[in-house]
Structure 1
Amino acid sequence: MNKHEQMFRPEEVDEQIDELVWGPQQAEASANASLVKELYNIHREEQEEHEILETVRARLLKQIEERTPASLKEALHAQDARQEAELVISSLPSKSEARTRRTFKGSAMLVASILFIVVLTGSGLALLTFAPMRQATLLSSQDMTAPLSATGIYVSGSGIIYRADIQTGKVLWTYRLASSKFNNIQILQSVTRLIVADDKVYALVSGPLAKGQNSGDHIVLALDARTGQKLWSYEANSAEENSIHGLTLMDGMLYATVNDADSTIIYAIDPHYGTKRLVYEFMPTFSDIHLTGDNHILYLATSDGLRAIDTTNGGSQLWYVPRPDPNPDMILTGLHVRNNVLLLALSSNEKGYVYAFNARTGQKLWQSEQTHELVMDLLATNNAVYFGSPDYWFYAYDLQTGKLLWKQQLGAIEEAPAYDGKTIYVAVNGDANSFYGVKALNAANGHELWQASTNGTPGQPVFANNTIYALNGGIFAFKAKNGTLLWNAAAPTLPDGTPSFVVATIQVVP
């Protein structure tokens, strides 16, 4: 019997495992390093007998199961590590296979490899103390491989959805939307609503149908946010379901409003598989529906009024109120709910108002002063409401009382602003000095802090990672503190070389 057979006798194995499992609670990290080095030298020297390997296999699993302390299991997830050890052991080559594989030349190396895993498990406290991130990588992943990250900038518009690197704007993947000819005009599908959540991209898509017919929104599309691969789609392009007019994500579930021949249907759509179930149905059908939700309650704004729908217990209407201005020329926009206040805007090219309602009862709380043009969208924070219009005025109102906090003449505003807790970032589509870009304002008093040009009409700004992102033919990234341009990156073009979007939406996952 050689020295390695002596080392791996059953009684020696038990003694070494005891030392490895219990010892690291008192031993220094250097002792573990020395042991690993010794084992590494051993497994390179000579081949062990197959019978010894089988003995070690059985005893190792038994000792890890019986002698690993409960406190160590809880602190280091040693159960996961034990499963990884079992996986390694179950995949070890047989004696005949070992002769043909360079990676495992002999059973001494296999035993050493197994004991090395036990060293890592037993040394968990030391690793957690000195290198917590490495410990998490080693013991928390079943396949020992870091998952793909969904961090990035997501942009959608006519003909395309794409993801860009959050630091450089480099395109990481693109998803091409369909196109079709209508009256000899090439029409691209476009995205009217973009939601990024839980490593998925959800898009409400409008545009041509497969037969070349033009349509409104009729597709809900789900992509893997990490790769851009299509996961599923739901299409409403039949006589029974002819269009989709709203999409929102609430409590981990997608909700969409769908028109059929004579009614409006609310569906809950499983975000993983795209399967749907009916939540609520009411008469009649509407051509313009806005949808938002909070805490199991969906809020719908249509041409006839506002509704609150409880999505639990089979779905039921909680309240309904007629719209505050029945004038059909008034366009409905900006439906949001925040801190039990439901907000919406009704406006035209001549005038506009923002209205606030109690989200529990539907009771009207307040309305803004009159604007002189359209209010396209608004931003609601915990305490205030911010919005502007093309008439150059930008407003701040108290969310609960409707008190005007301040207003400023900034320039033409067609997008909702962004907010970082102290500063409001507004996309300005031209002012008295022909400025196009982003202006930063003190949220408390409206004083301008800085402005940064986008060389043309900017899209809705987004705040993330102390950076402001805005669109104009591509992505502009500005330092939120002072407006310094960090980088800008062009959007990918369509196959025929034309720009990929005219009007686009953006979401950022930090």
Structure 2
Amino acid sequence: MDETPVFNGPKNRIFIGGMNKYYALDSQSGQLKWSFLVDSGTFQYSTAFYQDNVLYVGCTDSYIYALNAEYGNQLWKFKTNGPIESSVFVSGTTVFVGSDDDSFYALNAATGELKWKYATGFNVSSSPIVSGENVYFGSDDGYLYALAQSTGTLQWKYYVGDIFNSSSPAIVQDNLYIGNRNGYVYNIRKDTGALIWKKLLGSSLEFSSPTILDGYLYVSDKYSLYKMEASAGNLVWQSSHPGNYSSSPFVNENSVYFSSSSGNIVASDKQSGTVKWQKTIYSNSAEPVAADAKVYIGGGGSNFIYAFSEKDGTEIWKYPVNSTVTSAPVILNKDGKLFYPSKSGGRN
């Protein structure tokens, strides 16, 4: 769970992408604050990054957009040569993002000008994460990359097999965790790229990114949700529910939240994995994010954005968007704290 304090800009906001519109809603009432329209493409895959009253988000029209978070007006845009499914990560004055043009980009956060570009030769839809001097991401060539933030110079790469559709790395201290399509979770040293351990869980982890909290790793494959010891990879519990899992888990002090391809949003007990409540929304719903006693989620093909009670799943509000919503939200709460989904560069 990531709670980052913000000292300026709007409060009580949910930022989320639909098809060709990006939305800002009041997180308490669901009231629309603004929407940003593009001529073509979709915001269905990339999760935005918020910094200093600016939202940075990728679109399948091949552009990365910088938007004013208060009013939704465009500040700049940068064109890559392919659709953007990767979420954005901003570190200091640099925007990092992958593109399906087989390249990874570093841009000036203020102007959108290119700082450097690194070609992997394969799509980069895995979302990046920054730690120390390096930026880390996966590519469809099966490698996990570590590049120098400042120059884009390759520090190391490690082959983890058939990845990466949208599984993204998470980092805790010196360890980096990521899943692959063959059902393995990897723990890799972030400074050297050396393997610490790998564990076979079950089916594909390509759509689920690991979430780490209080020394435990949470991840889902197609059929089960897992809790593991992050240090050694030992299994604590495995929980299976009807319907295939389709999202990364969101974990806070109370529960583990996830969505399934059958259309359910599920809250499970963090200690045992047993279901606390579940609600049927629509198939292919987005990854949920919990903040301020609410759980927010894009409702897939239901064409709604929802807020549910974190305690019992009671619907608090829903907002109609007239399009499929499969991207994960970013929440800026009443105290100016940010809540990100886990797949967005491991920031949960």
- 1:293/1:424 CA distance change after superposition, 3 Å: same
Measured in 1, the distance between the counterparts of 2:20 and 2:59 equals 10
TM superposition score normalised by structure 1: 0.57
Tell me by how many angstroms 1:460 deviates.
Answer: 0.9
Are the aligned partners of 1:206 and 1:219 in contact in 2 as well (CA < 8 Å)? yes
Whichever residue aligns with residue 205 of structure 1, its letter is: C
For residues 150-189 of structure 1, the aligned pairs below 5 Å read: 150-179=11-40, 188-189=41-42
Tell me by how many angstroms 1:176 deviates.
Answer: 1.0
Measured in 2, the distance between the counterparts of 1:171 and 1:234 equals 27
Structure 1, unaligned stretches of length 5 or more? 1-146, 180-187, 208-217, 431-435, 492-498
Give the count of matched residue pairs: 316
Residue matched to 1:378: 209
Residue matched to 1:185: none
- 1:457/1:509 CA distance change after superposition, 3 Å: same
- 1:169/1:297 CA distance change after superposition, 3 Å: same
Tell me by how many angstroms 1:250 deviates.
Answer: 2.5
- 1:171/1:258 CA distance change after superposition, 3 Å: closer
Q: Which residue, out of 307, 319, 324, partners 1:477?
A: 307
Q: Compute the RMSD of aligned alpha carbons.
A: 2.6
Residue 461 in 1 paired to residue 288 in 2? yes
Measured in 2, the distance between the counterparts of 1:227 and 1:454 equals 30
- 1:384/1:292 CA distance change after superposition, 3 Å: same
- Which structure dedicates a bigger proportion of its chain to helix? 1
Whichever residue aligns with residue 168 of structure 2, its letter is: L
- 1:306/1:336 CA distance change after superposition, 3 Å: closer
- 1:304/1:413 CA distance change after superposition, 3 Å: closer
For residues 24-423 of structure 1, the aligned pairs below 5 Å read: 149-179=10-40, 188-198=41-51, 199-207=53-61, 218-237=62-81, 246=86, 247-257=88-98, 264=103, 266-278=104-116, 281=118, 285-288=121-124, 290=126, 291-302=128-139, 303-312=141-150, 314-321=151-158, 323-325=159-161, 331-339=164-172, 340-347=174-181, 351-382=182-213, 383-391=215-223, 393-411=224-242, 412-423=244-255
Are the aligned partners of 2:183 and 2:205 in contact in 1 as well (CA < 8 Å)? yes
Are the aligned partners of 1:375 and 1:414 in contact in 2 as well (CA < 8 Å)? no
Q: Taking every aligned residue pair, what percent have the same amino acid on both sides?
A: 19
Q: Which residue, out of 258, 268, 273, partners 1:446?
A: 273
Partner of 2:46: helix, strand, or coil? strand
Tell me by how many angstroms 1:191 deviates.
Answer: 4.4
Residue matched to 2:337: none
Whichever residue aligns with residue 417 of structure 1, its letter is: P
Tell me by how many angstroms 1:318 deviates.
Answer: 2.4
Partner of 2:226: helix, strand, or coil? strand
- 1:426/1:245 CA distance change after superposition, 3 Å: closer
Tell me by how many angstroms 1:178 deviates.
Answer: 1.1
Are the aligned partners of 1:462 and 1:507 in contact in 2 as well (CA < 8 Å)? yes
Measured in 2, the distance between the counterparts of 1:259 and 1:168 equals 36
Residue matched to 2:339: none
Residue matched to 2:260: 428
- 1:463/1:259 CA distance change after superposition, 3 Å: closer
- 1:245/1:487 CA distance change after superposition, 3 Å: closer
Q: Which residue, out of 316, 327, 334, partners 1:486?
A: 316
Using CA pairs below 8 Å that are at least 6 residues apart, which structure has the higher relative contact order?
Answer: 2
Superimposed CA distance per residue, residues 312-353 of structure 1 (whole angstroms, 9 cap, x where no aligned partner): 4x45332222x133x5xx555422232122222221xxx522
Measured in 1, the distance between the counterparts of 2:35 and 2:118 equals 36
Partner of 1:277: helix, strand, or coil? strand
